[in-house]
A and B are shown apart, each in its own frame.
Chain A
Amino acid sequence: MDSLENDLKSLIIEVFSLDELKPDDIDSDAPLFGEGLGLDSIDALELGLALKNRFDIIITAETPEVRTIFSSVAHLADYIRRIQSS
Chain B
Amino acid sequence: MASELQFCLKQWCAWLPPEWRLCSYHEWGLGRLLPGAEPDVSFLPLMQRRRLSPMARAVLAVAWPCLKGAGAIPTVCASLHGETHYCFPILNTLAEGADVSPTAFTLSVHGAAGALLSQFAGNRAPFVALAPGAEGYSAAVVEARGFLQAQAHEVLLLLYEQPLPLPYHTHAANPPGVMALAMKLGVAKDKGSLLQVKQDDKGEAGNEEDTLLKLIWALCQGNGAVNLPGRKSAWRWVLTG
Contact = CB atoms under 8 A, between A and B. Distances in A.
A49 B50 contact: no
Interface of B: 46-47, 50-51, 99, 101-103, 106
B230 to A, nearest CB: 37
Contacts of A1: none
B99 A52 contact: yes
Which size class do A's interface residues fall under?
10 to 19
Contact of A17 (B50, B102, B106): B50
A30 interface: no
A18 interface: yes
Contacts of B47: 38
A46 B100 CA distance: 9
B101 A17 contact: no
Given A19-B50, A20-B46, A52-B99, 20 more contacts: A16-B50, A17-B50, A17-B51, A18-B46, A18-B50, A21-B46, A38-B47, A42-B102, A42-B103, A42-B106, A43-B103, A45-B102, A45-B103, A46-B101, A46-B102, A46-B103, A49-B99, A49-B101, A49-B102, A53-B99
23 contacts: A16-B50, A17-B50, A17-B51, A18-B46, A18-B50, A19-B50, A20-B46, A21-B46, A38-B47, A42-B102, A42-B103, A42-B106, A43-B103, A45-B102, A45-B103, A46-B101, A46-B102, A46-B103, A49-B99, A49-B101, A49-B102, A52-B99, A53-B99
Contacts of A42: 102-103, 106
A25 to B, nearest CB: 11
Interface in A18-73: 18-21, 38, 42-43, 45-46, 49, 52-53
